[in-house]
Amino acid sequence: MSTESHLTFKDFLSIYSDQLESIPNNYWPSLFQKLTQEIFDIGEYVSLCKDEEEGWHVMVIAEDGLNKDDPNSVFLVDHAWTYEVKFAKKQLEQHDNLLNRMKQLMDIDHSTEKEEAIEEVLQRMWKFNKCYHRKESMLLDGDDELNNNQMQKDRDYIPLWYVMDEVGSRVNHDDNPNFAFKPFYFLETDTTFTVIFPLQDLEYGEEVTRDYQSLYTDQALKDVMLYPWEEDRINLDEVHDDWIEKYTKELENTEEEQPLNCPNGLQIKTEPPYAVCTDSDYAKYLTNENFYLVDHEEKADIIYKQGHYRQMRKLLLEGRQYVLEQPNKNCLVLKNFLAETCQRHTVQKYLGREMPQHIKERRGPIWLPTTFNLNTELPQFIKHFKERQAKGQYNVWIVKPTNLARSLGIEVSDNLTQIIRLAEAGPRIVCEYISDISLFPREDTGLVKWEIRHFAFVKSVEPLEVFVHNLPYVRFANKKFELNDFTDFQKHFTNMYYRHRDKMLVFPWKEFYPEHYNKALPNVPYEKLEAEIFKMIKELFESATSRPPPFGLGRSPQCRGYYAIDMILRWRDEEHTEIQPMLLESNFVPCMTRALEDDPELMNDIFGAFFLGTPPERMIRL
């Protein structure tokens, strides 16, 4: 189909210069013509062929073959399906034509019932799809306006996956491919194609091949990323989980950063009243007479930013102001660094003595779910997954982007191919998906997941001084918990503030405890649970402060830090009398809207614990 375009070739070269860099310039005129006129002519040069043993092939049928120097030897491959993972199932359910096309493309028997066919597509699609990113979500669910506004503020990108058409999807892999495949976003039609062209001359009857993992230049890493298609690429018998040896060596040999010190000595104020400069909407809750607000940072004794403070080095060298942020906070906030911080400290605790077997197997403290870095420990994870699979053990995992919040980009899966492929979408960790958990009986739904968020406040790193506010808050899933439908956000997640808010169950802690608490944990006294939670939080911050940067929090009397610690409760026994808090994540400058609505004095308590001599009664020193 041809569409009218007013784009000139000169403008095309200018607008698409970045994308054209990876395409030989002799193809640019023809590519311009095919994009603007939507010319799909690859079928004149190649054809699909299937044999019973090896499956599909794409063969050259042009009598003269394909010449890489021919300026017309560049072609467009359409994308048959583009989706976010969380919406894939819904799209297949709502669009029968899409489902039928995917069944045919993925060689699923045409007579397979719809529900079964959908599950089969969701499993097989990970050997067909590719990934790119865009700024905002394709679809908005729940409160559209709220979600859309938040997406616009988000600096990070949502991964989109696509399945090429029948020709593109059936080109086989070769380590020495004869065709290149390049995704190309064409703004004029708001469409992404794959541009393909030969890397060498091909004769009639020759097979077209591509590199499934062309972005990976290191051969060892490429072999791992090709595991979904060719399992013999790696010998799992030769893969060793050396996490203990890695941190032992690191602890023995790595130099530590020296803290920044003010050359003229500290000049910070030590008595109230304190001038506070902030851009936070929560400032209205700071009503304690010992603090007052100012408009400019230069006038402030305390700087409180809602985001990251960009002048940390200058502030530390001048030595005259406090800031509610700590150097190298990423050791707690980025999910990969958080896991490494906890694992490293575990090794440090057992230097020179035998580590218990259950800690070795868990890869960290008892309160940390078994965690692997998908980008640096993928072979180890594959081996771990396959060993559990061979033993018939529970094998469901949750994959998390290292730097996103609000549950963005998180996927739950028992599909090894999917988990491996998710590593292509950016930095990610994979954690054990905890299922033996305390469930809350929602009257309108049944037994649902619930999580606890505690706020922790670090006044000093050396010596360590940590407070926890005694009023946590709780979050609930909207749907009954079951180990299925892993893309169902309302079943497997509890953060409903930004989506599905109309169904969100809200209990202020004072209302939740004790009546509703006893419904979820009838045999666990709250005092016992609270002691376990505080023990976990204290050990977490001991991990984060046992080493200076680059491994732990920076040491400075000018810095304070506050974090939201999210956890879920795992049963230790079948009788449901012993509970273990499990760390999910730690957030810097967390959303406190709900907490302040429940307890308007919280902001006064925070500043009181940080800067006044006697901490408020509700702040518990760990």
Q: Is the pTM of this model over 0.95?
A: no
Which of 529, 539, 406 lies closest to 470 in space, CA to CA?
Answer: 529
CATH of range 9-138+150-216; options 3.40.50.720, 2.60.120.10, 2.170.270.10, 2.40.30.10: 2.170.270.10
Q: Which CATH architecture has domain 254-359+442-621?
A: 2-Layer Sandwich (3.30)
| Burial status of residue 256 (CB atoms within 10 A of its CB: 0-12, 13-18, 19 or more) | exposed
Tell me the C-alpha distance between 543 and 343, whole Å: 9
What pLDDT score was predicted for residue 352? Answer: 87
Domain with CATH 2.170.270.10 in the chain: 9-138+150-216
* Structural tokens at position 568: 């879920």
What pLDDT score was predicted for residue 336? Answer: 96
- What b/e readout covers 514-547, taking b as 16+ CB neighbours within 10 angstroms? eebbeebbeebeeeebbebbbebbebbbebbbbb
What pLDDT score was predicted for residue 227? Answer: 97
Domain with CATH 3.30.470.20 in the chain: 254-359+442-621
For the chain, residues with pLDDT lower than 70 are 1-5, 133-157, 254, 406
SS (H, E, C) 26-45: HHHHHHHHHHHHCCCCHHHC
Q: How many CB atoms lie within 10 A of CB 63?
A: 7
> Can you say how many angstroms the Cα of residue 293 is from the centroid of all Cα atoms in its chain?
36
| Burial status of residue 78 (CB atoms within 10 A of its CB: 0-12, 13-18, 19 or more) | middle
* Structural tokens at position 87: 């919406």
What pLDDT score was predicted for residue 260? Answer: 72
What DSSP designation does 153 have?
H
CA angle in degrees (0–180, nearest 5) for 55-44-18:
90
